[in-house]
């Protein structure tokens, strides 16, 4: 096992010694933005070496800031996975330039490809599939490509509330995974209720979608903060978990922690080893330090370094 370069808490301070949760948190990933990363003095105090760190690309963020963040994280020993949102990429020349910048300055060889939250595309791309079809990631030697998953559907893609378009896109991506040597995974939107997540993952398997799932989990945060992000991001039925909590005055002012949803998913994984959810992907909505410390306290500190490809 490689050395983990972060501060470990003693066993007595751990919130849980649940081996199922520890196993489920192995090789977890986390998402940052340049402006949030700037607030962290030393990532090595918080994240195991080799952790996959996604860099979210929000419209208006200069590519130079994205690349600088990638360079810093790569230098600290992390597997950097920047977002490539199709709708804010003007053309193939811009895409090729971004890929070259990430590779040349930070040695990046993996990416999360997604449509992006922009209503009107800035140029010729409007979906992750179009980015994949350019062949530019393969040409540049990218080894791993992740794409978006939606456990509770996506009204932008399926306005009628069905999952038809989402499933059609996933079948196309499954075909892409089968005809190329790209290592792929579905990185999902966050949700708060394990049962619908399990049902969705099982439905994917039954539909022949075998791409591994990295389930999105919202990290610890104030309840009001989570409800705001959940509504903005289109979180579906599991939003009721937060709304129910908000009605309980004994819990209203307490920070939300993902303990219950992760414990339930971990127990299901332990009972069903072939379950297609393989990793946890954290959205640190209450702050990177808060999320990372929660992961350490709940067994994430014992995680093996993530596969950098």
- Domain assignment present for 163: yes
> Containing domain of residue 83, as a range?
11-302
- Domain assignment present for 4: no
Q: Show the tokens assigned to 302.
A: 């014992």
Q: At what angle do helices 259-271 and 194-206 cross, to 10 degrees?
A: 40
Min mean pLDDT across 41-55, 70-84, 244-258 is at 244-258
Q: For 141-178, how does the pLDDT look when each residue is reduced to its tens digit (9 = 90+)?
A: 999 999 999 887 666 676 676 678 889 999 999 999 99
Rg of the chain, C-alpha, whole Å: 19
- Domain assignment present for 123: yes
Using DSSP, state whether 13 is helix, strand or coil: helix
Using DSSP, state whether 114 is helix, strand or coil: strand
Exposure string of 93-115, with b = 16+ CB inside 10 Å and e = fewer, is ebbeebbebbbeebebbbbbbbb
Report the C-alpha gap between 131 and 140 in whole angstroms: 13
Of the two residues 246 and 225, the one the predictor is more confident about is 225
Q: For 16-26, how does the pLDDT look when each residue is reduced to its tens digit (9 = 90+)?
A: 479 999 999 99
Q: For 233-252, how does the pLDDT look when each residue is reduced to its tens digit (9 = 90+)?
A: 656 565 566 666 555 544 55
Q: Concatenated DSSP letters for 63-89? A: HHHHHHHHHHHHHTT-EEEEEEEGGG-
- Domain assignment present for 268: yes
Q: Concatenated DSSP letters for 252-277? A: TTSPB-THHHHHHHHHHHHH-TT-SE
For residue 124, the domain's CATH number is 3.20.20.220
pLDDT of the residue at 137: 97
- Domain assignment present for 172: yes
- Domain assignment present for 3: no
- pTM for the complete prediction? 0.87
- Domain assignment present for 143: yes
CA distances from 118 to 14, 106, 115, 225 (A): 41, 27, 8, 22
CA–chain centroid gap for 185, Å, is 10
The number of domains in the chain is 1
Report the C-alpha gap between 298 and 309 in whole angstroms: 26
- Domain assignment present for 179: yes
């Amino acid at each position: 096992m490689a050395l983990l370069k972060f501060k470990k808490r003693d066993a007595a301070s751990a919130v849980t010694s649940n081996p199922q949760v520890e196993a489920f948190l192995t090789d977890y990933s986390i998402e940052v933005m340049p402006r949030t990363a700037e607030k962290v003095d030393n990532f090595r105090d918080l994240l195991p070496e080799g952790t996959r760190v996604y860099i979210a690309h929000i419209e208006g963020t200069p590519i130079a800031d994205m690349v600088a963040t990638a360079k810093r994280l790569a230098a600290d020993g992390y597997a950097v996975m920047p977002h490539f949102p199709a709708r804010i990429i003007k053309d193939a020349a811009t895409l090729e330039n971004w890929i070259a910048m990430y590779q040349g300055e930070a040695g990046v060889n993996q990416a999360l490809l997604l449509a992006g939250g922009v209503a009107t595309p800035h140029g010729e791309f409007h979906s992750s599939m179009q980015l994949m079809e350019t062949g530019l990631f393969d040409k540049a030697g990218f080894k791993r490509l992740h794409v978006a998953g939606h456990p509770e559907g996506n009204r932008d893609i399926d306005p009628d509330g069905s999952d038809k378009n989402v499933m059609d896109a996933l079948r196309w991506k499954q075909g892409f995974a089968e005809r190329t040597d790209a290592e792929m995974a579905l990185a999902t939107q966050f949700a708060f209720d394990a049962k619908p997540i399990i049902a969705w993952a099982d439905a994917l398997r039954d539909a022949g979608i075998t791409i591994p799932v990295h389930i999105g989990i919202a990290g610890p945060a104030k309840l009001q903060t989570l409800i705001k992000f959940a509504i903005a991001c289109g979180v579906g039925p599991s939003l009721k978990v937060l709304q129910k909590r908000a009605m309980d005055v004994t819990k209203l002012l307490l920070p939300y922690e993902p303990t219950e949803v992760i414990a339930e998913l971990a127990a299901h994984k332990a009972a069903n080893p072939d379950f297609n959810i393989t990793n946890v992907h954290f959205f640190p909505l209450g702050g990177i330090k808060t999320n990372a410390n929660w992961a350490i306290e709940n067994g994430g500190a014992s995680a093996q370094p993530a596969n950098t490809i």
